[in-house]
Amino acid sequence: MPIQTTEKIWHNGTLIPWDQANIHVMSHVIHYGSSVFEGIRCYGQPSGSAVFRLPEHMQRLIDSARIYRMEIPFTLEELCAAVVDTIEANGVAPCYIRPIVLRGYGEMGVNPRGCPIEVYIANYPWGKYIAGHGGADVCISSWNRLAPNTMPALAKAGANYMNSQLIKMEAEVNGYHEGIGLDVNGLVSEGSGENVFVVRNGVLFTPPLSNSALSGITRDSVLTIARHLGLTVTEQSIPRELLYIADEVFFTGTAAEVSPIRSIDRIVIGDGKTGEITRRIADEFFGIANGLKPDRFGWLTPVKVDSSEPVTA
């Protein structure tokens, strides 16, 4: 889907016109993948709009930058305020928000230290990410996720998404909606842009971060919601075949939100319908995000933009 443009993009503290948010082809990031970024959603509320877990996302951006020795010249509070300013300046909600920190134009060569750090924040309308009405058809990818101590999986770095692109393209070429990557030891890691959850015998499982999974903010939200609902939750390594015999499997992510999986490698999961636990978690997640249920965990940051779409769970 082509990007729907908005008016302004925040750049190093100033709102500039969308069309002027350009970088030079000799910028470090273009040649060596030196960027870290975030993906955040702003949801419509019964009155106004709200960003979902804004401080947690911006803290992860700061953490990703720290891993790569990138010094962001803004505090957590300044970055959060910049997101709110950008959304309010553009007057677009619901929306997806894309903050990015990159190594810009300065020197060539792998060593990035001589290149300036540039911070941009854009927002634009974006709908559902995982296709598949009634659940996604998914495959196990022939590509593994990042091996430990190669590309750090806890950094949400642009370069990591070369691996994600291989997983996503392979899945689509073979007729699936999405692929799940195994880690270097053959254990379940995550989707190309989502964390994975499994339900079996009433227990909720998800791989620990040591299986090369991103520490998803939605993953954390689902773990919190599940505990609140009184479910038994366990973060433990998941062998591939557990997916095939699961009662329910679903993806989580800012883009994917809570997305049920209908089949994996053409093996139908459970009875092929969205499971009871997936549905209860999704109801709570969308209820909170859309302001239809109490914000009991303090996850919403209000923005002064009226939602352009009806509120739906």
Ligand X SMILES: Cc1ncc(COP(=O)(O)O)c(C=O)c1O
Interface residue list for ligand X (CB under 6 A): 39, 164, 190, 193-195, 214, 216-219, 252-254
Residue 71 has which token pair? 């010094």
Closer to ligand X by CB, 115 or 214: give it.
214
Q: CB 17 → ligand X: shortest distance, Å?
A: 27
- 238-277 in b/e form (b: 16+ CB < 10 A) is beeeebeebbbbbbbbbbbbbbbbbbbeeeebbeeebbeb
As measured in angstroms, the least distance from the Cβ of 45 to ligand X is 20
* Residue nearer to ligand X on the CB measure, 27 or 195: 195
The question of whether 156 is a catalytic residue gets the answer yes
Between 49 and 192, whose beta carbon lies closer to ligand X?
192
For helices 276-289 and 217-228, give the axis angle rounded to 10 degrees.
110
What is the C-alpha separation between 270 and 246, in angstroms, rounded?
Answer: 6
Smallest distance, ligand X to C-beta of residue 257, A:
9
Least Å from the CB of residue 117 to ligand X:
21
Comparing CB distances to ligand X, the nearer of 15 and 76 is 76
| From 156, 168, 273, 304, active-site residue | 156
Short-list 139, 175, 137, CA closest to 263: 137
| Catalytic residue set | 156
